[in-house]
Each structure stands twice: as C-alpha cells, then as structure tokens.
Amino acid sequence: MTQRFAVIGIDHRHVYELTQYLIDAGLECAGWWNVTTNPHVLEGFRRRFPHLPEVAERERLMDDQGIGLVVTAAIPSERAALAIEAMRRGKDVLADKPGITTRADLAAVQAAVAETRRKFTVAFGDRWASPASARARELVQAGAIGRLVSTTGMSPHRMNRQTRPDWFWDARTNGSILVDIGCHQIDSFLHLTGREEAEIVHAAIRSVAPERTPVADFQDWGEMILRNDVCTATMQMHWFTPDGLADWGDGRAFIWGTEGFIELRKNLDLLGRDGGQHLFLTNNAKTEYIACAGQKVGTFRAFAADLRDRTETAMTQSHCFAVCRLALEAEERALAG
Amino acid sequence: MTQRFAVIGIDHRHVYELTQYLIDAGLECAGWWNVTTNPHVLEGFRRRFPHLPEVAERERLMDDQGIGLVVTAAIPSERAALAIEAMRRGKDVLADKPGITTRADLAAVQAAVAETRRKFTVAFGDRWASPASARARELVQAGAIGRLVSTTGMSPHRMNRQTRPDWFWDARTNGSILVDIGCHQIDSFLHLTGREEAEIVHAAIRSVAPERTPVADFQDWGEMILRNDVCTATMQMHWFTPDGLADWGDGRAFIWGTEGFIELRKNLDLLGRDGGQHLFLTNNAKTEYIACAGQKVGTFRAFAADLRDRTETAMTQSHCFAVCRLALEAEERALAG
C-alpha cells in the first residue's frame, strides 16, 4: 500500500525539495495546507505541484488516519510543537532543518517520541541529497585515506534579502546560525565518524555586516570546532555568498586522513568543471577526480522503507537528536562567549 | 657598494631558497660555513652553489667587517643564540622560520635588537615568496571583496621521513608545529589585516599518527583560531600530504569579505591548471581566475633596500616579533589544553 503524507508548513522553500524527494521515493502526497507566512512559497508550491490537493483546513490533514507522515517547513521555532501535535495524532514527522531551535523543544520532542513511538526526523539536506558526500563516506569507510584526522566544512549561503520573511532575521524564530545552517555539518561529522558524541571545542557567532540586513544583530557568521574520539572537525557557515557566484554558495568539505585526503566541491567548481558534486581524492597512489553529480544517494528511499518497516536505516532517531543537541550546545557555548 | 652576507647554519634545506633569493635581490654571498647536522643539505648546497666560498671556520665569517648580514637555517632552537651573537658583532640577521622557539629566546633577541640596533628578520616564505598572496592583499586593499570577514589557511606538508635529521622530530629543537609551520599563517593574517595584535581564540596540537614517525609524540596536526579587530582567522597545519600529490602540500587560503571572496591554491590546482600560485576572485560582479605564477613579489628586494637604508619596508621589526610572540602564545594555549 502506498504511504501517504501531508505537508503542513510551507514557510520555507525547502518544502519543494522535501515534497519532491518523498514523491520520488514512492510516497503519495495526500494534501498540503495552504496557510503560510511566505507568499513566495505559496505561489511556488502551487506552480510546482499543481496536481497535489490544496487544503485550507489544517485539521483535516491532522485527522486523516490514512496519512502516516507529516512533512513540515514551518517557521523553524514552530516545528517542534507542530511535530509533537502530529506525533500525538499518530503520525511520523519529517522536518526541514533546523527541526528544533531550543533546549526545551528538544526535551519535549524527545518525550513525545518516547510516548508515541513515532519518528521525528530532520532532513539534513546537505548530506541526504549530496552524492559527493555519500561517495566520500564510502571512500573513507573503504580505507581510501587511512584513518580520519580531520574534516573541514565551509558553507557559504546567499542572503537573498529581498525574499526573506520577517522570521528569517530573528534567531529566536529562525534558530541561531549554528543551529540553522551549522546542523548540516554536525550531521555530516557524526555520520562520517559513526558517532553520536562530540566535544564542542570552540563555537562563535558573529554579526559582521549589519549594513546588509534589516536588523543589527543578524547572525551572518558562525564557526565551530568539534572533536570526538575519531577526529576533529572545523565548521564554518555564513551568509556572504556574493552575487557574482554561479550558485547560492561555494560549499566545500576537506576530509583529511593519515594516508590521503578528499575535497568536495558540492555546489560548483570555480571556473572549472560543469555542475556540482565534484570529488577529488588524493592518497599515496594518485590524485583522482570523481564526478558524483546524478549518482543516487538513496537516503529518501531508505527513509520511506523506515516508515513502512519501522527501521532506522536512513538515520537513527538518536543520531537526529544528537545533531540537534550538539547544535544547541554549540550555540550556548558561543553565546556564553 | 654591493652588500655582502654570510650563511651560517645549513641544517635545513630552506637555506637554498634564502641564499638564492638574496642573490637575486642583488646581494653577494661572501661565504658559507660548511658544518651541519644535515649531510643532505651540505651536499645540496655544494651542488647548487659551487662558486660560493665554502668556509670551515665560523669565526672568520663572524669577524668579517665587510659582511653586514648573517643568514641562518641552523637547528631552529639554536637560531636565536646565533642571531644574538651575530647582532652583537654588528650584523643584521635573516633567519629561516621559525626564528624563535621559546619565550626566553624571544626576550633575549628583543633585548639584543634594542641593544645593537641591528635587524632580526624571519623570512616567512609562505608569504614572502608567494605572488598569489601578494596579489590577494592588493585586491583586499583595493576593496575587491569589501571588508574582511575571515581568513582560512590550510598548510599540509609532506613528512619526508627518510631525509629528516633527528632534531626535526623533537619540538624542543624544531619548535612546536604552531611555531614551525603555523607562524606562516600568523604572519599572513597580521600582514593582511595590517595589525600586530590578535587574540588566540583556540589552539590545539595533536600527535595523530605515531606509527608514521620515529617518536610517539611528533606533532603532526596543529590548528588555531585567531581574531583581531579586523577579522577572524582559522589556521590548519599538518604533516599528512600523501605521496600521490604532485607537490609537497596542497596549500590553500580562503579570504572572505562582506562583498566577495578569494581562494588561493598556492602549490597546485588539483587535476586542473598547471603549476602553482592560482587565485580565484569572486565578488558581486563576477568570478575571475588570476594566474599569479611568475609575478614578482619584491619582498627580498625590499629587504635588501631596508638593510642599506635602515628602513622597514619588507617587514617591520615589531611585526616580526608579533608573529613570533603569537605563535608562542598559541603553543602555550594548546599545551595548557
């Protein structure tokens, strides 16, 4: 039987991808709630998915016993409460990142998962949808670069000031920069190292260029160093992608091992090869380029199977909570100074 | 009148470059002392500079009143004492990096400079000899990427275990990894920001892969985060260049501004353009590639003029000491844990 999902919360445009990936993974969209703080996304959703049932009554979707999954890209600070409501009504939840923006919400969601036995999953798209990241992990696990020494991630994002809703500019509604866009790198680090623990060695949040934003305290630069028993990780995330770049950010990852290293150029290869998802592997034998664009990642298909079989192959519940917890810990550390 | 220099200390192969750069800058090598801990370098020096006078008596060079500059690539921990001796005998000093490996040596050299009015200069080759770094600074100063937000440096080095002398493996003689190869990035950061002050936000030293080294505590990974009133800087340095890389290290720098960013690929462009010294500039107007290989840097010529004119155009004395001091501070911070 085809699994059915509802979309409740179309405040961030990430909802397009989440919906499409789930449909591609074989799920059926039973309907989407058309109330939003973001008219751009309402229009975009209608244009992209003209055949999906538009629903004005949120309760109809929450009440529908034939719907097993709620997908949400609501205002980040409202995702936890929505998820808890959905889980209590028998539904699993797939949230856009960040799924959780406060310690209290994390505790409440953890309690709701324990109570309802439903799944609360955050789609960390930077890894879930990146064939280059998937290939890098395969190479590391196969020993292509020896033991892990360090990882370094750089995640620049274009600000797109004109199309951002009000809640984007406030860390209380959008989540801090470490939680909002830092969570991707924490997810990648834990996934690559196969761990759910890490020490926050360093964390900083800055508001460098208030002249570019409607508020003075927008967090436009974040950095972290995490460490666990496998390796150390340096993470940078920020909102300084210039207009002259051909994509929304020149996302990179450098993975160093005792016997080699991998560079990922996820979005693009500056004035080089076409497209994205480029992987460069150098070890004691050679330097090799591996084109990963178009390669299947399979995480959303694995997630669909997990929903059906009650397994945890795409991502364990504890991994998901570990990412959320570490991001909040890093934020606390950064704000403490 | 041509300025004359002596080479005293050929324990590290960097002495080849220092000697050549000075000759290229118009100085004359009056002689070089042929005692060393490193027979590879003795042989290499003879082969590269067959016409330069080889001297067995160190005192002859120190006593020669016609020699104004002593150049040294002695064992790092012995450079300060040698420099102090040379300055007290009326000579300026150009040291390979690291010029100073302890706080006590820093204080002693500072006192000797004040007492003798001679110059103590460390050639931070990663910048002094890099046209890509020089061009990046020009672009930043011209406002090509707006105000500085952050810099990130990655300095992998090939270990070359077979040709390293014993003192290389001991931080007490070679300097810690933050002092030995971290000093380059501190130099670049201070130079780019036009400052001599920075806060050590984070510093760490690790011995990741003792199976690769003759000692268990060789420092094969170092990282720092520094910050001043201009921007923040992330610095990584390590000894994990794999054999399959076409150069001794894939040195990179990422310079982020409020209106653009610069990437430097100093050693090579992985499976891309030939040679080194590649610069990529992206700002609000465009992404542009700038080939910097072969462009003149001019730092050694400026240094030669400084010797003659008693000016400080290549590098101020206080900048040099600031780099040494910050590297030692970072080391202390890292060792404190």
Q: In this predicted model, what pLDDT tens digit does every residue of A104-145 receive, in sequence order?
A: 999 999 999 999 999 999 999 889 999 999 999 999 999 999
Q: Whole-angstrom Cα distance, residue A80 to residue A77?
A: 7
Split at pLDDT 50, 70, 90, the class of B337 is: confident
The answer on pLDDT for A1 being more than 70 is: no
Are the beta carbons of A261 and B250 separated by less than 8 Å?
A: yes
Domains B4-123 and B127-297+332-336 agree in fold: no
Per-residue buried b or exposed e for B44-58, using 16+ beta carbons within 10 Å of the residue's own CB: ebeeebeebeebeeb
DSSP B248: S
Mutation target vs A (from B158, B218, B230, B240; most A CBs, 10 A cutoff): B240
Q: Which helix (H) or strand (E) holds B173?
A: helix B171-174
User: pLDDT tens-digit profile of B158-215?
Assistant: 999 999 999 999 999 999 999 999 999 999 999 999 999 999 999 999 999 999 999 9
| Alpha-carbon distances, residue B298 vs B24, B51, B171, B295 (angstroms) | 10, 25, 32, 9
The CATH code belonging to domain A127-297+332-336 is 3.30.360.10
pLDDT of residue B2: 82
Q: What is the pLDDT of residues A218-246, one digit of tens each?
A: 999 999 999 999 999 999 999 999 999 99
CATH superfamily label, B4-123: NAD(P)-binding Rossmann-like Domain (3.40.50.720)
Of B234, B236, B287, the CB nearest to A270: B287
Q: How far apart are CA A146 and CA B219, in angstroms?
A: 18
* Interface touch B256/A240, C-beta < 8 Å: yes
- CA gyration radius, chain A: 20
Tokens of B335: 């060792």
Q: Which two tokens stand for residue B334?
A: 């890292």
CA distances to A297, B26, B68, B102, B292 from B4, in Å: 64, 9, 6, 30, 31
Cβ contact A209–B258 (<8 Å): yes
Do A244 and B285 make contact, defined as CB atoms within 8 angstroms?
yes
- Contacts (Cβ under 8 Å, ≥6 apart) of B1: none
Per-residue confidence at A2, pLDDT binned at 50, 70, 90? Answer: confident
pLDDT at B329: 98
Per-domain residue ranges for chain A?
Answer: 4-123, 127-297+332-336
Q: Using CA atoms, how far apart are residues B150 and B158, in angstroms rounded to an integer?
A: 27
Q: Which of A140, A150, A279 to mutate to test the interface with B (most CBs of B within 10 A)?
A: A150
This prediction has a pTM of 0.97
What is the pLDDT averaged over residues B102-120?
98
Segments in A158-298 forming alpha helices (H) = 171-174, 177-180, 183-193
Across chain B, what does the average pLDDT equal? 97
Mutate to test the interface with B, among A155, A258, A279, A280 (most CBs of B within 10 A): A258
Answer yes or no: is pLDDT of A157 > 80: yes
Share of chain B above pLDDT 90, in %: 98
Res B247 pLDDT > 90: yes
Query: What digits encode the pLDDT tens for the residues A167-192?
Result: 999 999 999 999 999 999 999 999 99
Q: pLDDT tens digit string along B114-146? A: 999 999 999 998 899 999 999 999 999 999 999
Q: What is the pLDDT of residues B255-299, one digit of tens each?
A: 999 999 999 999 999 999 999 999 999 999 999 999 999 999 999
Confidence tier at B1 by pLDDT (50, 70, 90): low
Identity of the amino acid at B282: T
Nearest to B222 by CA among B175, B269, B291, B272: B175
pLDDT at A82: 98
Between residues 213 and 252 of chain A, which touch chain B (CB distance below 8 Å)?
A: 221, 223, 225, 232, 234, 236, 238, 240, 242-246, 250
CB A37 within 8 A of CB A11: yes
Choosing among B145, B243, B255, which should be mutated to test the A contact, i.e. which has the most A CBs within 10 A?
B243
- A206/B223 Cβ within 8 A: no
Please write the tens of the pLDDT for every residue from A68-97.
Answer: 999 999 999 999 999 999 999 999 999 999
Residues 187-206 of A with CB under 8 A from B: 201-202, 204, 206
Show residues of chain B in contact with A204, CB under 8 Å: 201, 225, 232
Closest chain B residue by Cα to residue A221: B149
What's the mean pLDDT when you consider all of chain A? Answer: 97
Residue for token pair 């090509």: B144
- pLDDT, one tens digit per residue, over B9-58 is 999 999 999 999 999 999 999 999 999 999 999 999 999 999 999 999 99
Q: Does the distance separating the beta carbons of B263 and A256 come in below 8 Å?
A: no
Residues 255-274 of A with CB under 8 A from B: 256-261, 263, 270-272
